[in-house]
Amino acid sequence: MIISVNHKINNPESFWKSAQDNLPNLPEGGVQRVLQALPNGDMSQATCLWEADSIDSLNTYLRDKVKNWSEETYFEVNTANAIGCPA
């Protein structure tokens, strides 16, 4: 499934360092890959598209990797009606 994640990042340096360190190791624990990462100017917010088995598996993965450096909101993307999103 494709999942959109909105990240509110309270420690951009640690958050993005963890992303650089851990994303090359995917797939892992029901998370296949990140499709897009779209940060704002000061890197304190981002919207990312992920491919994962479930929102729960992605949340478990992210909590392990980004600790308490961010808060997330999630939704499953309706790929049948999305534009420019892999099906």
- Return the domain boundaries, the chain: 2-76
Mean pLDDT by 10 residues, the chain (87 residues): 97 96 95 96 97 97 94 95 80
pLDDT of residue 86: 72
pLDDT of residue 49: 97
CA distance 6 to 43: 12
DSSP bridge partners of 18: none
pLDDT of residue 87: 61
> What would be the CATH architecture of the domain defined by 2-76?
2-Layer Sandwich (3.30)
CA distance 65 to 87: 26
